[in-house]
Structure 1
Amino acid sequence: MKIKASLRKEIGTKSSRRLRNINNVPGVIYGENILVKNIFINHNFLYLLIQKKYFYSKIYKLEISNNIENVLLRDYQLHAYKKKILHVDFQRVNFKKKIFIKIPLYFLNYEISPAKKISSGIINYFIDNVLITCFPKYLPKFINVDLSKIKINQSIYLSDLILPKGVKLFFKKNSIVVNVHPLKNKQE
């Protein structure tokens, strides 16, 4: 997917405010020991993209003056109370180097699990995204967590996740991703 951007000729607070007033978002592209590029992107287009969960784990082709750069979204700033993006940061991607990125988890099949069907268990979600490392060609949009076999008083840990080819978790401890507890009796 392509994102069209334009180079900013001016930088600074006043220039950024002017861009926002005409429905644009100021931003930067950095990385790969290349000079930082100051850019701007149409606000409405960018706002629609950030609503999609996979937006954070996808490599985009950023088109600037007929030049294409492969980038990842690294950060953005939102207005405190308006639905408005104030600034966006992209990082260049080198397909020959591994990247570190947070990937969302998608929880599947709880409705058919023994914990739900037999016991009406209550599920607790502790982690909804994980930090991974991989080469860009192996970058998944998300990682599925299959809950179809989970039972009451069971947990799924980071080490239990089934990872796509070429993807490794980057974590220090084996944390609980999700667990299920029995529904407490209201008369107790």
Structure 2
Amino acid sequence: MVRSLRANFVRSLLTKPPDQPTPTSLRSLGKPPPWPDIKVNFDGACFQDEKLAGTTAVIRARNGQVLATMVDRFPLPHSIVAVEVIVAIKALKFALELGHNSIILEGDSKIATKAMQSGIPTLADYGHLIEEVKMIAESFVSIALSFVPRQCNILAHKIARHVRHVSEYTVWIENVPPQLFTVIQAALAS
């Protein structure tokens, strides 16, 4: 009973407010989110040779301005989907730490996004991580989870590829990693 109520509550959080465009209609990097004013793009990267995974979250304002960027490393889990869900968890926690309680969360893993959007408990080996996403989602006033193609998540993707060069949890406020500025400028221009 409680699980069903919680699932219904989380599902209601994942739906868009009335008369608003759907977040999944966002198809270009430059297009600002229709609601709320904050978009959080996340991506993970796997470094099998080091048995590590990397995470990045980029928080952007309605006008496209980068508000904050976060990178971190963690031990490589058992599946790619688990990597993406862990990255989503870290992105959600990062947004909350910075005081954002109304967001669009965008990632480029269709399987992970569908699993997080589902109100149905999963028996997959990453099911406990999906439950954690749902619990964290309850902390937001409004939240939308959206799958976007890789080319629409290129900023987070490019940063995630360079996480292997970061030794600890790192945050840049109102910026992107300085050593990646030219790479990111090129990614945004394409």
Question: Could you tell me the TM-score, scaled by structure 2's length?
Answer: 0.24
Q: Which has the higher strand share?
A: 1
Question: Could you tell me the TM-score, scaled by structure 1's length?
Answer: 0.24
Q: Whose RCO is larger (CA < 8 A, sep 6+)?
A: 2
